[in-house]
Amino acid sequence: MLFGTRALLRDTPWSQWRLRALQRNEAMSHAEFAAVQASLLHKTLRTAIARLPFYAHIRRDFPVAASVDVLRAEFPIIDKATLLANRRSLYPNGGVKQPWQALGATSGTTGAPLEVFRSVQSVLMEQAFVKRHWAWGGYHDGMVRASLRGDLVADTAVTKPPFWFWNRYNRQLLVSSRHLTEANADAIIDRLEALAPAMLQAYPSTAFTLAGLLQRRGRRLHIARVFTSSEPSYAHQRELIRDRLGATIMDLYGMAERVAFASACEHGQLHVNADYAYVEIVDGDGRPTDGEGDVVGTTFHNHAMPLVRYRMGDRSRWKPGPCPCGRVFPIIEGVSGKYLDAITGSDGAPVSPSVLTFAFKRMDQIRKSQVAQVGPASWEVRVVPLPGFTAFHQQYLIDIIHRMVDPHVLVKVVLRDDLPNTAAGKFRWVVNEYANNNVLQPPGNRPE
């Protein structure tokens, strides 16, 4: 019923019309596209001034051609902390969601979880942008696909197949990444082989785990396209995925705040979808830079809660030159974000960091968190609490990790005053102290 309702709402003639319109943008000249982008930015800025008290002092009567200048001169760069501290002025309706709006939530991995109000149109537009990316890889509606992400399609306590669910409305097999272990691998691989999907949606870590299971069995799957998102992907992961799945890997960069969207084309270049949001890369002083800098985005399509010059905490740089694909969109280098180690579950199998994030969504009482592996099948969840965090929330975290991630791992919640960055200035949300200690320390200094 859930998938049928989603399909009914998202896969409409309107969404197909929007997809075709977005595809026309790709082939525009730079001058034509610049006019489209300026108009989208102008509408967002005027909406933000009209609806959000934070910007009420800014004049709305500026021309379309001045939109970029007004953006940089009048709108300060904001971030998650700014939103949390100014809910009544940076959220519409005094921070209260309207019944017809959708609610998005960040995971709270590098800070307190954040709510974002979304219009119905923005939800449908998101689907249109995703489908445009799929089309770059030759995938279209009606083709069979498989998903290996964070969907809770089988309880973590289940030990026998099926570890998957068939969504007949979208011809999609949802596979439980929590069951992607040595014990269950053959059943999952056999099911994927029988299905022969035209594409696989996955986190880089879950696709890599699947590829490793295939390698250890001397097996291969033949899936033409693997669309990855939500995590950084690394060269060694991509190499094994291509070898064992025979796939072209097409990565996507996005976030719950919906202020940037970059997608890899068939030539492997990561294109900023400049009709999705206005993206800047700025230095430490907030000035545009051609070097590596902070990614800052301004939404174009979510006028329910227009985020303007929102800094995500990710870093990248512009990549000069046109792409052989011929699309008008600019290119960036790979995006670096949260600094993550790999941790293992109760059976020794790797646990996807993206699956872990599900346990932290809508935990409003957390300022910052970290998950550390401190022993075999033993995790420590470190929390910098906000007022209102109680023993109930500690137990809730433990219970939700057991329900959504691993029912047998030992979880201990530890309260901290702060969680510092590394010497390089990066924050490790997931850290494997057990593996690092055992690998890096001389035998005489290893913890017992």
Report pLDDT for 443: 29
Query: Do 55 and 192 fall into the same domain?
Result: yes
Query: Do 290 and 393 fall into the same domain?
Result: no
Torsion angle in degrees (nearest 10) through CA of 411, 416, 421, 422? -60
The CATH number of whichever domain residue 418 belongs to comes to 3.30.300.30
Residue 14, pLDDT > 90, answer no
Report pLDDT for 4: 56
305-343 pLDDT, tens digit each: 999 999 988 889 999 989 999 999 999 988 876 555 678
List all residues 6 or more positions away from 383 whose beta carbon is below 8 Å from its beta carbon: 366, 368, 369, 389, 394, 397, 413, 414, 415, 416
Query: Do 312 and 368 fall into the same domain?
Result: no
Q: What is the domain extent for residue 383? A: 339-445
State how many domains the chain has. 2
Q: Answer with the one of 292, 309, 335 that is the final residue of a domain.
A: 335
Q: Answer with the one of 301, 335, 369 that is the final residue of a domain.
A: 335
Report pLDDT for 108: 54
Residue 167's identity, in one-letter code, is: N
Sign, CA dihedral 102-404-350-413, equals positive
pLDDT > 70 in the chain, percent: 90
Report pLDDT for 424: 46
176-188 pLDDT, tens digit each: 988 888 899 999 9
Q: Could you give the C-alpha distances from 281 to 276, 310, 385, in angstroms and in order?
A: 16, 11, 32
pTM across the whole model: 0.77
Query: Do 269 and 385 fall into the same domain?
Result: no
Query: Do 42 and 173 fall into the same domain?
Result: yes
SS3 373: strand
221-273 pLDDT, tens digit each: 999 999 998 877 767 678 889 999 988 999 999 988 999 999 999 999 999 99
List all residues 6 or more positions away from 244 whose beta carbon is below 8 Å from its beta carbon: 210, 211, 212, 214, 215, 219, 220, 221
Query: Do 128 and 157 fall into the same domain?
Result: yes
Query: Do 283 and 209 fall into the same domain?
Result: yes
Query: Do 180 and 211 fall into the same domain?
Result: yes
Q: Answer with the one of 288, 304, 335 that is the final residue of a domain.
A: 335
Residue 348, pLDDT > 80, answer yes
Is the CB of residue 362 less than 8 Å from the CB of residue 339?
no
Q: Could you give the C-alpha distances from 61 to 90, 150, 224, 318, in angstroms and in order?
A: 21, 45, 50, 32
Query: Do 20 and 87 fall into the same domain?
Result: yes
Query: Do 141 and 228 fall into the same domain?
Result: yes
The CATH number of whichever domain residue 179 belongs to comes to 3.40.50.12780
Cα 271 → chain centroid: 16
Report pLDDT for 360: 80
Sign, CA dihedral 357-363-366-372, equals negative
pLDDT, average across residues 209-222: 92
Structure tokens at 202: 């996955």
Query: Do 249 and 329 fall into the same domain?
Result: yes
Rounded distance, CA 72 to CA 14, Å?
Answer: 34
Query: Do 331 and 375 fall into the same domain?
Result: no
Decide which of 262 and 7 is more confident.
262
Is the CB of residue 145 less than 8 Å from the CB of residue 198?
yes
Residue 109, pLDDT > 70, answer no
Burial of 30 (0-12, 13-18, 19+ CB in 10 A): exposed
